[in-house]
Amino acid sequence: MARRRNFDIRVQPGFGLIALFTFFSLYLPIAALVAYSVNAADSLSRWDGLSLRWFISAWNNQAVQDASIRSLILAAWAATFATIAATMAALATTRTPRYPGLTLKYAFINQPLMVPEIVTGVALLIVFSRIKVWTGYSGLGYLILAHTAFCIPFAYLPIRARLENMDLTLESAAADLYATPWRTFRRVTLPLLRPAIIAGFMLAFVISLDDVVITEFVKSGGQDTLPTYMLGQLRRETSPEINAIATVFLALSVALVTLFYFVNRRRP
């Protein structure tokens, strides 16, 4: 009796053609964006040769500098707080026997992934608007809190995955040698968990860096991040300078995601 071959979608008729069409549809607009970022013309309707003038213009634009610095500061703080919270949540949901309600906690932690951003943005706008009235404070703290809450599940997933696959032998050995839980975590668990923590931080940083919807609802006057600045400029006019900014943004995001991939491949 002939052995039944395993199903492999890659050898199905038309798979290659469909895959090429999908990649072409996804990346053609991005390729056009990158190409026109080095276009010397003042208009997107014609091509005048290669030039870096729009990158230089964006670099010298004070509004772009302010928005970029604000975006980096916001993403760094939000990713840091989100990673700390995600690490504690991952430890609390993996270093314990299963019990009724644990699945509900998973869903609660990952709630920002399931709820549309527009809903989260409106909810935060309502809450923070009342707090602003009561306290008179309208600084960057609201954006940091909003981005932290939204980024927690992105940092939580890789950290939880690493903890679930981690060998408990070394932790048990440390406990047998009378190490306290804190000492065991600091000397054993944390070093093994470090690649996942770094990966979670980078993923949260990228998500915070390019968020538009929640930022647009929560920010106060004069608190534009780079994505909201770009959105505002596109509403007025389509300048090739925006293409240059988007290209740099794309390169930074790709670099961070690539680094996240290689860090997350490391085994504990």
- In b/e form, how buried is each residue of 158-188, taking b as 16+ CB within 10 angstroms? bbbbbbeebeeebbeebeeeebeeeebbeeb
In angstroms, what CA-CA distances link 118 with 124, 216, 249? Answer: 10, 10, 23
Handedness of CA 139, 140, 143, 149 (dihedral sign): negative
Residues in the chain, pLDDT under 50: 1-2, 268
pLDDT for 41 equals: 78
Torsion, Cα of 46, 227, 79, 165 (10° steps): -50
CA distance 226 to 189: 37
pLDDT for 3 equals: 55
Look up the pTM and report it. Answer: 0.81
What tokens were used for 159?
A: 């950290």
pLDDT for 156 equals: 92
What tokens were used for 224?
A: 């534009």
Domain 62-264 -> CATH class? mainly alpha
pLDDT for 188 equals: 81
CA distance 77 to 62: 23
pLDDT for 1 equals: 45
pLDDT digits (tens, 9 = 90+) for 166-182: 777 777 787 777 777 78
Every domain of the chain and the residues it spans? 62-264
Give the bridge partners for 50, in sequence order. Answer: 39
